[in-house]
């Protein structure tokens, strides 16, 4: 999740310290490289950028010394193009008279780069931020003014993004929003634009929130908004922000975990659009299809995504896949591996030591290795033949939420493509996730008091929802410190049923195709005085047998598992707060595990 900030002032001045401070306040979003550009009144542009954290790059390149009347800083979270100096943003156009930077994913980046090269433009990087600049350059070179060029470029650029751009010879900056966040700030001496509030609040609390399909023309003493659709002027009064800096960084949410739970509809949509245009999907599908044995390797939450991925591959593509915990992979399968086998190695960070150790063993046997991860430029991206990015942006909270959702979506998409099935059904995913968040939270809130006193409980699923039960149990363990065991519902009677007593809580995750099996399990619990809390779509059989029913949107068997994780994430969050814990930083745990 990149961060951008641009500012235009009345006079040429030392903008470096302002840009650096704005960058620091955007750094919570996560990034691997940083760059600054300033535009001078003598019609020159200064551009400095490199891989690394803002303070160390500032020390090397002296951002603080940069002068100009317009400035842009960008913190890049890599998706298109590995982290490198050339792929870092901002970017220049071919002639070096425009400079710009973006936040988001331009999903048709590869095709656009080919077009720009064929048209004779100077394309220096693999980064989609550069494609935003060249998309404007294309129409400026045809004689259009900047507003009209941006309007036309908007139609060429696929995906979700926001970008800011400036041109020599003008006292303006321009910005546009399509999906990614963008907000404008107004001061007495300047105007500024940013991905979000934290970088603006130290300068001003007078802001204008920008909506999709809007172009912003920034001058030092005024801001004009136009509709990209027809170029017409939009009137919108500034608002006064009263929230604190900490609240602004968390998007108004009390904790990063809650913020990231609510980001799931958006990042799901971004990943789906990215996958639809990714040149990597087909080669990965072909590699997986041709494998003698196909292994899905991960740890913790990533392993649960592998479990569900294996179900999708079997049901949609008729392809057996072996989900396995990374440390067990070496012991259980290492001696049998050969060059005909393929593994998909899954890691949020791309640095999980257990996964990298399994990868080393696989490659020592000549096995094919593919990656599924969130951090571009991580060890896993460099070590695998091909990889797919999860496009989640930075996940600050230790418990994984949005990265799990996108891991599962990636597996589902690969399974559909492997089975030669249409992926159009995934277009509903963001809307369904949004609906689930809206409808489930009030239902979960009612359970908080009922479960608060229990330090031992079970979470059971079947078929598609068995991996969800494991992931839900993990979330409850991580942030509430209560013991919650995830199990296959039909295994509960083989021993653990002995734990049930009066009022004992057992959570069931019911897929729409598995209701009869789940009803049987419910009654094994309730007839012994236990409390059966069921997560599922509205169904008279569940309604009649459950102690409580948390109703999910009607999504069908393929998409239902991703609806089912929402109440378990929210329940974990609420119970953590009720117990007085910080859900973002549970004790004894780390976000990236780099030890065996």
250 contacts 25 by C-beta, under 8 angstroms: no
243 in the same domain as 257: no
What domain range is 496 assigned to?
Answer: 438-587
377 in the same domain as 404: yes
Q: What is the mean pLDDT of the chain?
A: 93
**Tally of structural domains, the chain:** 3
H or E element, residue 206: strand 206-209
Mean pLDDT of 150-167: 94
The CATH number covering residue 312 comes to 3.40.50.10490
Buried b (16+ CB within 10 A) or exposed e, 39-54: beeeeebbbbbbbbbb
92 in the same domain as 198: yes
Given this model, what pLDDT does residue 232 score? 94
Active site residue 299: no
Given this model, what pLDDT does residue 407 score? 98
Mean pLDDT of 513-522: 94
* pLDDT cut 90: percent of the chain above it: 82
DSSP string computed for 211-233: -TTEEEEEETTEEEEEETTT--E
Given this model, what pLDDT does residue 453 score? 84
Q: How far is the CA of 432 from the CAs of 146, 266, 315, 553, 554, in angstroms?
A: 38, 11, 22, 7, 8
Q: Which residues pair with 485 in a beta bridge?
A: 458
119 in the same domain as 244: yes
pLDDT in tens, 44-90: 999 999 999 999 999 999 999 999 999 999 999 888 888 999 999 99
Dist CA 57 CA 64 (whole Å): 11
Active site residue 178: no
Structural domain includes residue 500: yes
241 in the same domain as 303: no
Mean pLDDT of 524-528: 94
Q: Is the pLDDT of residue 248 over 70?
A: no
Mean pLDDT of 405-417: 98
373 contacts 305 by C-beta, under 8 angstroms: no
Given this model, what pLDDT does residue 185 score? 96
Ranges assigned E (strand) in 439-559: 456-461, 483-488, 505-509, 531-537, 548-552
Structural domain includes residue 273: yes
3-class DSSP state of 534? strand
pLDDT band at 595 (very low <50, low <70, confident <90, very high): very low
323 in the same domain as 271: yes
Given this model, what pLDDT does residue 247 score? 65
Mean pLDDT of 244-260: 82
Sorted by sequence, the CB contacts under 8 Å of residue 568 that are 6+ apart come out as 459, 468, 471, 472, 475, 476, 507, 509, 535
Structural domain includes residue 51: yes
Q: Is the pLDDT of residue 433 over 60?
A: yes
Given this model, what pLDDT does residue 450 score? 79
Structural domain includes residue 431: no
Q: How far is the CA of 141 from the CAs of 120, 151, 228, 258, in angstroms?
A: 12, 14, 20, 46
Q: How far is the CA of 330 from the CAs of 156, 324, 337, 396, in angstroms?
A: 47, 10, 10, 30
pLDDT band at 551 (very low <50, low <70, confident <90, very high): very high
108 contacts 277 by C-beta, under 8 angstroms: yes
378 in the same domain as 355: yes
242 in the same domain as 126: yes
How much is the pTM? 0.81
Residue 446: count of CB within 10 angstroms of its CB? 10
Q: Which residues pair with 74 in a beta bridge?
A: 4, 35
301 in the same domain as 173: no
Dist CA 330 CA 25 (whole Å): 43
Mean pLDDT of 376-393: 88
Residue 219: count of CB within 10 angstroms of its CB? 15
Structural domain includes residue 487: yes
60 in the same domain as 207: yes
Structural domain includes residue 433: no
pLDDT in tens, 556-569: 999 999 999 999 99
Q: Are strands 3-14 and 67-76 parallel, antiparallel or unpaired?
A: antiparallel
pLDDT in tens, 309-349: 999 999 999 999 999 999 999 999 999 999 999 999 999 88
Mean pLDDT of 292-302: 97
Q: Is the pLDDT of residue 593 over 70?
A: no
pLDDT band at 166 (very low <50, low <70, confident <90, very high): very high
Q: Choose one of 219, 249, 279: the last residue of a domain.
A: 249
Q: Is the pLDDT of residue 240 over 80?
A: yes
Dist CA 227 CA 362 (whole Å): 53
Q: Alpha carbon 414 to chain centroid distance?
A: 18
Q: Choose one of 369, 389, 421: the last residue of a domain.
A: 421
Q: Choose one of 249, 269, 297: the last residue of a domain.
A: 249
Choice between 14 and 199, residue whose per-residue pLDDT is larger: 14
Structural domain includes residue 464: yes
DSSP string computed for 327-346: HHHHHHHGGG--TT-EEEEE
Q: How far is the CA of 20 from the CAs of 35, 62, 72, 404, in angstroms?
A: 10, 10, 10, 33
pLDDT band at 250 (very low <50, low <70, confident <90, very high): confident
53, 353, 365, 591: which is the annotated catalytic residue?
591
312 in the same domain as 296: yes
Q: Which of 224, 87, 208, 220 is nearest to 147 (CA)?
A: 224
The CATH number covering residue 87 comes to 3.60.20.10
Can you count the helices (H) and strands (E) in the chain?
A: 19, 25
* pLDDT cut 70: percent of the chain above it: 97
Top-ranked range on mean pLDDT: pick from 22-31, 373-382, 428-437: 428-437
Q: How far is the CA of 553 from the CAs of 130, 422, 550, in angstroms?
A: 40, 22, 10
378 in the same domain as 272: yes
Dist CA 390 CA 61 (whole Å): 31
pLDDT band at 1 (very low <50, low <70, confident <90, very high): low
H or E element, residue 5: strand 3-14
Residue 144: count of CB within 10 angstroms of its CB? 16
Q: How far is the CA of 399 from the CAs of 471, 479, 480, 572, 590, in angstroms?
A: 11, 8, 11, 10, 9
2, 132, 299, 459: which is the annotated catalytic residue?
2
Dist CA 49 CA 29 (whole Å): 18
Structural domain includes residue 181: yes
105 contacts 160 by C-beta, under 8 angstroms: yes
3-class DSSP state of 165? strand
Dist CA 357 CA 345 (whole Å): 11
């Amino acid at each position: 999740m990149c961060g951008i900030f641009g500012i235009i002032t009345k006079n040429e001045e030392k903008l470096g310290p302002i840009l650096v401070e704005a960058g620091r306040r955007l750094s919570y979003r996560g990034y691997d490289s940083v760059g600054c550009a300033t535009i001078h009144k003598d019609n020159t542009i200064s551009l400095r950028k490199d891989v690394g954290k803002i303070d160390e790059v500032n020390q090397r390149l002296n951002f603080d010394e940069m002068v100009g009347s317009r400035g842009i800083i960008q913190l890049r979270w890599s998706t298109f193009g590995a982290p490198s100096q050339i792929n870092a943003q901002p970017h220049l156009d071919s002639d070096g008279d425009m400079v710009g930077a973006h936040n988001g994913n331009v999903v048709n980046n590869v095709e656009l780069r080919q077009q720009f090269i064929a048209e004779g433009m100077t394309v220096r990087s693999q980064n989609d931020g550069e494609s935003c600049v060249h998309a404007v350059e294309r129409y400026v070179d045809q004689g259009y003014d900047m507003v009209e060029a941006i309007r036309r470029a908007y139609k060429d650029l696929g995906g979700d993004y926001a970008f800011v751009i400036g041109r020599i010879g003008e006292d303006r900056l321009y910005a546009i929003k399509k999906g990614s966040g963008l907000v404008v700030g107004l001061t007495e001496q300047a105007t500024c634009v940013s991905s979000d509030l934290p970088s603006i609040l130290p300068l001003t609390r007078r802001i204008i929130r920008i909506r999709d399909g809007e172009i912003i023309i920034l001058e030092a003493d005024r801001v004009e908004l136009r509709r990209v659709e027809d170029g017409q002027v939009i009137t919108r009064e500034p608002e006064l922000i009263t929230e604190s800096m900490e609240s602004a960084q968390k998007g108004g949410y009390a904790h990063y975990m809650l913020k990231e739970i609510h980001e799931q509809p958006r990042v799901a949509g971004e990943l789906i659009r990215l996958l639809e245009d990714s040149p990597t999907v087909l080669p990965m599908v072909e590699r997986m299809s041709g494998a003698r044995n196909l292994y899905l390797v991960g740890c913790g939450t990533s392993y649960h995504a592998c479990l569900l991925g294996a179900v999708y591959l079997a049901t949609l593509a008729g392809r057996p896949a072996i989900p396995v915990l990374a440390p067990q992979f070496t012991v259980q399968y290492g001696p049998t591996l050969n060059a005909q086998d393929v593994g998909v190695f899954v890691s949020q960070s791309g640095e999980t030591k257990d996964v990298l150790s399994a990868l080393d063993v696989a490659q020592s046997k000549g096995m094919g290795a593919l990656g599924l991860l969130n951090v571009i430029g991580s060890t896993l991206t460099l070590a695998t033949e091909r990889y797919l990015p999860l496009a989640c942006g930075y996940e600050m909270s230790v418990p994984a939420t949005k990265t799990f959702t996108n891991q599962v979506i990636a597996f589902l998409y690969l399974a559909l493509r492997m089975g030669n099935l249409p992926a159009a059904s995934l277009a509903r995913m963001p809307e369904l996730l949004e609906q689930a968040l809206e409808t489930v939270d009030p239902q979960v809130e009612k359970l908080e008091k009922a479960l608060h006193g229990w330090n031992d409980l079970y979470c059971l699923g079947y078929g598609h929802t068995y991996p969800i039960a494991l992931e839900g149990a993990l979330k409850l363990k991580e942030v509430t410190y209560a013991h919650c065991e995830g199990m296959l519902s039909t295994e509960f009677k083989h021993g653990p049923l002995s734990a049930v007593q009066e009022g004992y809580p057992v959570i069931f995750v019911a897929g729409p195709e598995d209701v009869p099996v789940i009803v049987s399990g419910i009654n094994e619990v309730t007839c012994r005085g236990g409390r059966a809390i069921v997560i599922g779509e509205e169904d008279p059989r569940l309604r009649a047998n459950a102690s409580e029913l948390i109703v999910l949107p009607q999504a069908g068997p393929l998409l239902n598992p991703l609806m089912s994780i929402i109440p378990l994430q929210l329940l974990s969050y609420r119970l953590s707060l009720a117990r007085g814990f910080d859900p973002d930083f549970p004790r004894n745990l780390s976000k990236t595990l780099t030890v065996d």
